[in-house]
Structure 1
Amino acid sequence: MTLTKCADVLVMGAGPAALCIVAELVEQGLQVTALASHLPDKEWPNTYGIWAEELETLGIASLLGHRWDKTVSYFGDGIGAEGSVPTEHQFDYGLFDQAAFQKELLRRCGDLKWSVETALKISVLGSQTEVLCCSGNTYRARLVIDASGHRSRFVRRPDHGPVAEQAAYGVVGRFSSPPVESSQFVLMDFRPDHLTLKEREEPPSFLYAMDFGEGVFFVEETSLACSPPLSSKILRERLHKRLEHRGVEIKEILHEENCLFPMNLPLPDRSQSVLAFGGAASMVHPASGYMVGALLRRAPTLAKQLALELAADPPLDSQALAQKGWNVLWTSELIQRHRLYQFGLRRLMSFDEARLRSFFATFFCLPREDWSGFLANTLPLSRLIAVMLRLFWMSPWQVRVGMLFGVSD
């Protein structure tokens, strides 16, 4: 067994959340230990999309591998020309260049080396926290941050019943004919004309798709949130049925993607002595499923505050440091916003496909700065409430009833 020197902060994980917070901690001059089940340069399995303005605000729009200014959604029924009129968002959307994004975060982590370990037990020893690994090695730090994802068993959270999950099955490939228009990005295609009336009674899903150029497209069938989640098999079948209905055949699969993550995970117990970040800290946006923008915005603030607290005299113990971190990560305002988003998601989960299409058609009639801020979780609480009230009054009466009471079977 090896006991390592006590670090300022120990971070568990090697995904985007872990790299974001480690990079900021290192830039604060802190001594960091990093543990994960694999090295941080392992290729990330999923794609990450974001509205380009979020990265422009942060000055890192160059990390986008693809960017579209032709962004649309479809909320009609798909029947006739009128049922297939797109909603034009007039707002640039992008996908990260995964390799460039990962490489940039690793560059900012300096010469820090990750230890490939699996944590077995975490014990608070007053001024230090000890992590015992399956290898028998023991690591100590004044503060432990779990950034290993929503499945972490070291982060306590209340049980509020079944958790809704977003599920998706997607294909990057070549097709017999373009599944979307040239240079187009489709955020949501809810048209149900490829489904039978019975299938429309099942939990709805939509197409998320884009043109990568040179004859390559990405198409993904997505379920916004469902408990239990729609299976990959169902989503795959729906995707093929949707393409077939439009006379499109997959000719070559270059990459398959399966996504499954919680949308309404309860906030962690913020009195615990292990701090969390990313999915482990329930930072997935309950209304959109996005998280990377929040990671990039909130990591610097958290790291700066932790650096100040670690330098306090007299020194704070691990429990007090974690409490300081939780207070920064989940302020009262952010908690209230999160609760509002979760309330809205519960209502949307009760909607059938027709009511859901009507809701989103109304939502994207809001001023762009309102709907984009809503999806990015950048609206102050007072404005968020005002936007939600405005959306309520703009909506058809069927949607209003659903917003107030939900829709029973």
Structure 2
Amino acid sequence: MGPAGRSLMHRAEASGIDVLGIDAHPNRTWTPTYSAWADELPSWLPLSVAASSTTRPAAWTTRRQAIERTYCVLDTPALQRALVVDPARVVAATATDVRCHQVTLADGRVIHGRTVVDARGSVGMAGLAEQTAYGVVVERHVGEKLLEGEGAWFMDWRSDNGSDPADTPSFLYAVALDEHRILLEETCLVGAPALTSDVLRDRLVQRLSTRGLDLTGDEAVERVKFAVQPPPRDRADRGVRRFGARSSSMHPATGYSVAASLATTDAFLATVTSGRSKHSPSIWAVQRLRNLGLRTALNLEARQIPDFFASFFELSVPLQTAYLSGGNDLRGTLGAMMRMFPTLPPSARLAIARTVAGR
């Protein structure tokens, strides 16, 4: 189980709900870097799960822009420890077939339950748009000059990574992991297909070299690859509730899902125990708008991307928050999109109009 499944089981046990988890690797230590906006984290999480934070991260789009919203990098081991579950209630096995009231395991066993929640994520699912990244971890004194006085680069779209203007774009993501280390990561926001790890590595090496940092080859490496949209449903999983990256908690235009999963765990459990539908009409409407955002990101030309994000980060913080984090905020999400559109260059507006028209 990853953060979504484990948080669900953790909070279910805390609420006295009879729950059984299925985890192919229950003792595996999590290693990915997880980040979140501070205002997304639920109050039941201990403050110790935040390894670092910056109150004013920056973005470089067509220019330097400040983001007035606190951004945190989570302490992954601390997060895993905080989401404690009863090991006796975890079945060490792989789920191969998930149905409304039963789960078939790879060894042939069948687990029955009143409610089945699928929180397996979407890693390895073919045919889905993906986000990829290649990063290196450097000592703080080495990487700090790359921050250029900022607390973090949420995204840096400057074109010094050696890519051609017609290529699928990528940006630099640079954050402090803790007091001693900085992650420098070349990221393909979304692609179908997304950029490969080798391409991103070459771009990162070129970008850092251009800025005066030559890597030694001994740095710790982080590779990222995950789908930014859930797999389509079929008749077999009708009635199965989805949670985390396998559900609409995943923001398809950004790849965010961990913080959203943590933030909505209790509300999700409330719908499960009450028997109510998990989705309100506003959630479905927001998801359709987010899917439009995904198609827009896929259809914009590389040269249009910096202008797109320049307009986004000119929005008020409440509108930025609504679009990035408001899973059921239809008015805010629509407001953000409508406010952005007239501020974009004509070529970007035309590309978006064609996306909306399905062309």
2:40–2:260: 8 Å Cα contact kept in structure 1?
no
The alpha-carbon deviation at position 56 of structure 1 amounts to: 6.7
1:19 counterpart = 2:6: yes
Alignment match of 1:142 (pick from 103, 111, 114): 114
Instruction: Judge which range, 265-274 or 110-119, deviates more.
Output: 265-274
1:62–1:202 CA distance, 2 compared to 1 (3 A): same
Q: Write the letter of the residue equivalent to 2:65.
A: T
Alignment match of 1:36 (pick from 23, 26, 44): 23
Alignment match of 1:119 (pick from 79, 95, 99): 95
**Which residue of the partner structure matches residue 344 of structure 1?**
293
1:180–1:211: 8 Å Cα contact kept in structure 2?
no
1:122–1:358 CA distance, 2 compared to 1 (3 A): closer
1:351–1:406: 8 Å Cα contact kept in structure 2?
no
1:307 counterpart = 2:273: yes
Return 5+ residue gaps in structure 2 as ranges.
Answer: none
TM-score, L = length of structure 2: 0.89
Residue correspondence of structure 1 range 57-206 to structure 2 within 5 A: 60-76=46-62, 85-106=63-84, 109-110=85-86, 112-122=88-98, 129-151=101-123, 162-174=127-139, 175=142, 178-181=145-148, 184-195=151-162, 199-206=164-171
2:41–2:263: 8 Å Cα contact kept in structure 1?
no
User: What is the CA RMSD across the aligned residues, in angstroms?
Assistant: 2.8
TM-score, L = length of structure 1: 0.79
The alpha-carbon deviation at position 62 of structure 1 amounts to: 3.9
The alpha-carbon deviation at position 229 of structure 1 amounts to: 1.4
Local SS of the residue matching 2:114: strand
Q: Write the letter of the residue equivalent to 1:190.
A: W
Local SS of the residue matching 2:152: strand
Instruction: Judge which range, 86-95 or 247-256, deviates more.
Output: 247-256
The alpha-carbon deviation at position 72 of structure 1 amounts to: 0.6
| CA–CA distance in structure 1, aligned partners of residues 217 and 109 of structure 2 | 46
CA deviation profile, 1:85-122 (whole Å, cap 9, x unmatched): 4211132111111111111111xx34653221123445
2:118–2:241: 8 Å Cα contact kept in structure 1?
yes
Local SS of the residue matching 2:57: strand
Local SS of the residue matching 1:285: coil
Q: Write the letter of the residue equivalent to 1:189.
A: D
| CA–CA distance in structure 1, aligned partners of residues 98 and 328 of structure 2 | 37
Q: Write the letter of the residue equivalent to 2:252.
A: P
| CA–CA distance in structure 2, aligned partners of residues 252 and 141 of structure 1 | 50
Q: Write the letter of the residue equivalent to 2:7.
A: C
1:194–1:237 CA distance, 2 compared to 1 (3 A): closer
Q: Write the letter of the residue equivalent to 2:204.
A: L
| CA–CA distance in structure 2, aligned partners of residues 291 and 122 of structure 1 | 21
1:71–1:88: 8 Å Cα contact kept in structure 2?
yes
1:252–1:349 CA distance, 2 compared to 1 (3 A): same
1:226–1:121 CA distance, 2 compared to 1 (3 A): closer
**Which residue of the partner structure matches residue 79 of structure 1?**
none
Local SS of the residue matching 2:297: helix
| CA–CA distance in structure 1, aligned partners of residues 53 and 129 of structure 2 | 30
Alignment match of 1:229 (pick from 194, 208, 211): 194
* Structure with greater strand share of residues: 1
The alpha-carbon deviation at position 142 of structure 1 amounts to: 1.7
Give the % identical residues: 28
| CA–CA distance in structure 1, aligned partners of residues 322 and 248 of structure 2 | 19
| CA–CA distance in structure 1, aligned partners of residues 179 and 329 of structure 2 | 42
1:269–1:20 CA distance, 2 compared to 1 (3 A): farther
Local SS of the residue matching 2:205: helix
The alpha-carbon deviation at position 405 of structure 1 amounts to: 1.4
**Which residue of the partner structure matches residue 8 of structure 1?**
none
| CA–CA distance in structure 1, aligned partners of residues 121 and 338 of structure 2 | 33
The alpha-carbon deviation at position 145 of structure 1 amounts to: 1.4
1:176–1:227 CA distance, 2 compared to 1 (3 A): closer
| CA–CA distance in structure 1, aligned partners of residues 45 and 21 of structure 2 | 27
1:219 counterpart = 2:184: yes
